[in-house]
Amino acid sequence: MNPSTALLTDHYELTMIEAALESGHADRPCVFEAFARRLPDGRRYGVVAGTGRILQALPDFRFGDAELAWLRERDVVDGRTLDWLADYRFTGDIWGYAEGEVYFPGSPLLVVESTFAEGVVLETLVLSILNHDSAVASAASRMTAAAGERPCIEMGSRRTHEESAVAAARAAYVAGFASTSNLEAGRRHGIPTAGTAAHSYTLLHDDERDAFANQLASLGAGTTLLVDTYDVTAAVRLAVELAGPALGAVRLDSGDLLGQAHGVRAQLDALGATGTRIVVTSDLDEHAIAALQSAPVDSYGVGTSVVTGSGHPAAGMVYKLVSRESDAGVMEGVAKASTDKASVGGRKFALRRRGADGLAQAEIIGIDERPSDDGDDRDLLVPLVSRGEVVAPTDVRTAREHHAAARAELPQRALRLSHGDPAIPTTYLDDWS
């Protein structure tokens, strides 16, 4: 049995359940929806990630003896609510965008159909996972698009919380990264792991020659030598002298990467090391990767920017009650009235409208009604949980393939890095029909 995820929850979710139990409204049929009101400033699309992690966390969302004892001791909620929590198990249905799907403002990313109490208590955990993982995947997708065929290696573990690091490696892989430096992500999610060489290793030795010779003796000529600890030109010469033309790669981690890449490539070629690759790794983001598109670089190691969402560390998703049964026993759409935080009431359905060329044209959202398929369209909401049972794949490879296919459907303008509008408009069925 895994550790409980149930206390990864805001205090008020439980007090709201207490009040709803008192008033007799806790069991009202409800629909909750997770969506983003907007994309981060100027982005053309977002990427849904974390869905698999939500589905894996759901069966562990149980209030065990330890959790209940703490809630009782701190008097967070009353005895009736504790009894209800002790029996908690999600028994409703969840629909959602498949992990890896691209999304736009208003896309109904997750639709939770359950009683009020069963659904409201999941809010914090669902949003934590979606907001974090989607922020990373959305940034990572821009990087892999800019990198084209060249592999991106996620190496940002040290720049984010130690468990976020594992989730970030997973989200980056969904969005097309080739590998991660994070070993736990390798073990937990089966993501390929990779590593290069460290400055500390070179500095450990009295001189660079010793360091390179020892690394080659231990790890073989196919290893990656770090050539910017002292003087890059001298280090490249030394590296090929010691390893021969079979040297796997050299890594550049500072300075003017564009100029250095050209210089190092020419030097490697002149030394006969035409197969030796160049890995660059210094503060890269999607813009730096794009600026290196014409440089002789073979792979990109990306750290801080990918794990922190390249300027947007949270995807801005919210989880709102959008429909509930009324006193009269009918389902009614509900929404907060405020102008700056508006939401659209009603149970949503979503379709990606595609042209005959297969390219996406619009995000069509139906309210309380499924939009009709024009023949080339694609349904976006897939069943994730049915009567409490997980019915969708949670693995990262399925999500990665889905992302590649979904991104390939977007019009070319979606991949521009400059600020712009969402690549396709979001259209509510009322407007469209």
56 near its own copies (CB under 8 A) = no
Cβ of residue 14: shortest distance to its own copies, in angstroms?
A: 7
User: Could you tell me if 226 and 202 are in contact, meaning their C-beta atoms sit under 8 angstroms apart?
Assistant: yes
> Which positions from 408 through 427 interact with its own copies, judged by CB under 8 A?
none
Evaluated on CA atoms 101, 106, 112, 118, the torsion sign reads: positive
13 three-state secondary structure: helix
Cβ of residue 214: shortest distance to its own copies, in angstroms?
A: 3
**Interacting span for its own copies (CB under 8 A) from 86-94, 106-114, 212-220, 267-275:** 212-220
> Which positions from 66 through 85 interact with its own copies, judged by CB under 8 A?
67, 70-71, 74, 76
Cβ of residue 174: shortest distance to its own copies, in angstroms?
A: 15
- In 64-161, alpha helices (H): 65-73, 79-86, 116-120, 123-147
Give the separation between CA 167 and CA 309, rounded to whole angstroms: 12
Burial of 146 by CB count in 10 Å (0-12 exposed, 13-18 middle, 19+ buried)? buried
Evaluated on CA atoms 384, 106, 406, 149, the torsion sign reads: negative
Q: Pick the closer one to its own copies by CB: 78 or 376.
A: 78
Give the separation between CA 139 and CA 119, rounded to whole angstroms: 29
Burial of 237 by CB count in 10 Å (0-12 exposed, 13-18 middle, 19+ buried)? middle
> Which positions from 151 through 170 interact with its own copies, judged by CB under 8 A?
155, 157-167
Q: Pick the closer one to its own copies by CB: 111 or 410.
A: 111
> Which positions from 266 through 325 interact with its own copies, judged by CB under 8 A?
282, 304, 307-309, 313-314, 319-321, 324
User: Could you tell me if 301 and 155 are in contact, meaning their C-beta atoms sit under 8 angstroms apart?
Assistant: yes
Place of tokens 């042209």: 355
Q: Pick the closer one to its own copies by CB: 112 or 381.
A: 112
> Which positions from 318 through 347 interact with its own copies, judged by CB under 8 A?
319-321, 324, 326-327, 334-341
How many alpha carbons lie under 13 Å from residue 58 in its C-beta half-sphere?
Answer: 28
| Residue in 134, 138, 144, 196 binding its own copies, rule: CB under 8 A | 196
Cβ of residue 432: shortest distance to its own copies, in angstroms?
A: 26
User: Could you tell me if 77 and 18 are in contact, meaning their C-beta atoms sit under 8 angstroms apart?
Assistant: yes
Q: Pick the closer one to its own copies by CB: 214 or 293.
A: 214
Mark residues 234-263: x for contact with its own copies by CB under 8 A, - for none. -------------------xxx--------
User: Could you tell me if 256 and 112 are in contact, meaning their C-beta atoms sit under 8 angstroms apart?
Assistant: no
Cβ of residue 89: shortest distance to its own copies, in angstroms?
A: 19
| Residue in 68, 88, 151, 205 binding its own copies, rule: CB under 8 A | 205
> Which positions from 360 through 389 interact with its own copies, judged by CB under 8 A?
none
Beta strands in 221-284 (DSSP E): 224-226, 249-252, 277-280
> Which positions from 104 through 143 interact with its own copies, judged by CB under 8 A?
116, 120, 123-125, 127-129, 131-133
Give the separation between CA 336 and CA 340, rounded to whole angstroms: 10
How are beta strands 110-115 and 29-36 bridged, if at all?
antiparallel
Burial of 98 by CB count in 10 Å (0-12 exposed, 13-18 middle, 19+ buried)? buried
194 near its own copies (CB under 8 A) = yes
**Interacting span for its own copies (CB under 8 A) from 198-206, 365-373, 394-402, 424-432:** 198-206
Q: Pick the closer one to its own copies by CB: 104 or 116.
A: 116
Q: Pick the closer one to its own copies by CB: 63 or 104.
A: 63
Cβ of residue 220: shortest distance to its own copies, in angstroms?
A: 10
